[in-house]
């Protein structure tokens, strides 16, 4: 029987070859792992450029910057810019109502009560030339009865505003609108009434003598007038027209009276203009009455 003899040199050779192969496999796996880690890290770095940072300090810094920085077209919406501009404008203005030196942005409620506006407050508030504005309003019923004398139908004790139009309020093209209404009664004889609208002593419109239906009791009437300033100064002028409407008992059709100035009336606009409306009956009788319940004047520039 033959023996096989393995030399020590061969044993050493085969033994070390196995260990080298194991080391090679390990190093190859490690290299693959490191490469994969590098790929993942690279992907994460790239993705970080596309997602906002969420760390707390970054968020706080962003909020602080938004609170401190002014808006511009790159960082704010159009609405945010408008709000900021409006806030900036308001911060430079005082919107109050004052007892003196009133202006467009400055007036005072100190003279305004819950029920009325005193002349002082109205005087200050109406110095502003921005129109339209309610110049005067009369809200107390006044009745002219049993007289053939020219009599004012306005009651200064039952009014708000100014019964004078300041000279600096009248410019070329200023429009004066007058509205009034009330009720009237007549007796059996033929009766007519005359209205006159005045600025100071100047009659700027007078109605022709118009007969009213007889035996009327507390029937409604109203009037609307429009005037316009054509020239200013000592030789200023005004022109306009009015319509008067009177209800008739048991009739759906009222009486309409139209009155127009065909030529301008000369007035001195450098003076304050006292407003008045007068009425005059042709016959004094206890049954001939006319009352006014509302009267107002509005100015337009």
Mean pLDDT confidence for 143-155: 91
Predicted confidence at residue 195, as pLDDT, reads 94
Mean pLDDT confidence for 92-114: 41
* Residue in this structure with the two tokens 């200064």, named with its chain if needed: 156
Mean pLDDT confidence for 136-145: 85
CB 135 within 8 A of CB 112: no
CATH architecture of 131-300: Sandwich (2.60)
CB burial readout 168-180, b (16+ within 10 A) else e? ebbeeebebbbeb
- Asked whether residue 95 carries a pLDDT value surpassing 50, the answer given is no
Structure confidence at residue 94 as a pLDDT band (50, 70, 90): very low
- Asked whether residue 77 carries a pLDDT value surpassing 80, the answer given is no
CA atoms within 13 A on the CB side of 106: 9
Q: What is the pLDDT of residues 239-255, one digit of tens each?
A: 999 999 999 988 888 99
Q: What is the pLDDT of residues 206-245, one digit of tens each?
A: 998 888 989 999 999 999 999 999 999 999 999 999 999 9
Q: Which of 243, 272, 276 minimizes the C-alpha distance to 159?
A: 276
If you average pLDDT over every residue of the chain, what do you get?
A: 76
Token pair listed for 259: 């009155």
Higher pLDDT, 158 or 39: 39
Predicted confidence at residue 30, as pLDDT, reads 84
Predicted confidence at residue 115, as pLDDT, reads 41
Structure confidence at residue 167 as a pLDDT band (50, 70, 90): confident
Measured distance between the N- and C-terminal CA atoms of the chain, rounded to whole angstroms: 140
Predicted confidence at residue 9, as pLDDT, reads 52
By three-state DSSP, how is residue 51 classified?
Answer: coil
Residues, the chain: 301
Predicted confidence at residue 265, as pLDDT, reads 94
Give the whole-number percent of the chain exceeding pLDDT 70: 66
- Asked whether residue 134 carries a pLDDT value surpassing 70, the answer given is yes
Burial of 35 (0-12, 13-18, 19+ CB in 10 A): exposed
Which sign, positive or negative, has the C-alpha torsion 286, 290, 294, 296?
A: negative
Measured distance CA(128)–CA(166) in Å, rounded: 11
What is the DSSP code (8-state) at residue 157?
A: G
Residue 294 CB coordination number (10 Å): 14
Q: What is the pLDDT of residues 24-51, one digit of tens each?
A: 778 888 888 888 888 888 888 887 777 6
Predicted confidence at residue 42, as pLDDT, reads 86
What is the DSSP code (8-state) at residue 167?
A: G
Predicted confidence at residue 69, as pLDDT, reads 55
Q: Which of 236, 235, 238, 215 minimizes the C-alpha distance to 227?
A: 238
- Asked whether residue 3 carries a pLDDT value surpassing 60, the answer given is no
The neighbouring-strand residues paired with 182 are 221, 292
Structure confidence at residue 10 as a pLDDT band (50, 70, 90): low
Residue 56 CB coordination number (10 Å): 8
- Asked whether residue 12 carries a pLDDT value surpassing 70, the answer given is no
Measured distance CA(198)–CA(179) in Å, rounded: 14
Report how far Cα 54 is from the mean position of its chain's Cα atoms: 46
| Ordered alpha helix ranges (H), 110-168 | 119-125
Predicted confidence at residue 165, as pLDDT, reads 86
């Amino acid at each position: 029987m033959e023996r096989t003899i393995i030399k020590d040199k061969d044993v050493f050779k085969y033994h070390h070859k196995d260990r080298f192969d194991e080391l090679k496999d390990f190093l190859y796996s490690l290299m693959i792992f490191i490469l994969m880690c590098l790929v993942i890290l690279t992907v994460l770095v790239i993705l970080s450029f596309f997602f906002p940072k969420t760390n707390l300090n970054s968020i706080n810094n962003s909020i602080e910057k938004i609170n401190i920085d002014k808006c511009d077209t790159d960082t704010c919406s159009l609405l945010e810019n408008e709000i900021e501009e409006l806030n900036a404008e308001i911060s430079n203005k005082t919107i109050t109502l004052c007892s003196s030196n009133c202006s467009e942005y400055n007036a005072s409620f100190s003279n305004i009560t819950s029920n009325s506006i005193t002349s002082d407050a109205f005087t200050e508030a109406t110095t502003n030339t921005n129109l339209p504005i309610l110049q005067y309003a009369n809200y107390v019923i006044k009745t002219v009865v049993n007289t053939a004398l020219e009599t004012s139908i306005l009651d200064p004790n039952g009014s708000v505003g100014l019964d004078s139009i300041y000279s600096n309020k009248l410019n070329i093209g200023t429009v004066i609108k007058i509205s009034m209404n009330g009720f009237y009664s007549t007796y059996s004889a033929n009766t007519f009434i005359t209205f006159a609208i005045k600025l100071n002593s100047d009659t700027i419109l007078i109605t022709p003598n118009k007969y009213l239906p007889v035996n009327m009791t507390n029937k409604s009437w109203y009037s609307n007038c429009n005037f316009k300033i054509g020239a200013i100064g000592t030789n200023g002028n005004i022109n306009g027209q009015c319509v008067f409407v009177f209800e008739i008992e048991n009739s759906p059709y009222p009486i309409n009276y139209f009155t127009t100035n065909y030529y301008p009336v000369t007035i001195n606009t450098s003076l304050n203009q006292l407003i008045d409306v007068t009425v005059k009956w042709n016959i004094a009788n206890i049954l001939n009455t006319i009352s006014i319940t509302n009267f107002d004047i509005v100015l337009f520039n």
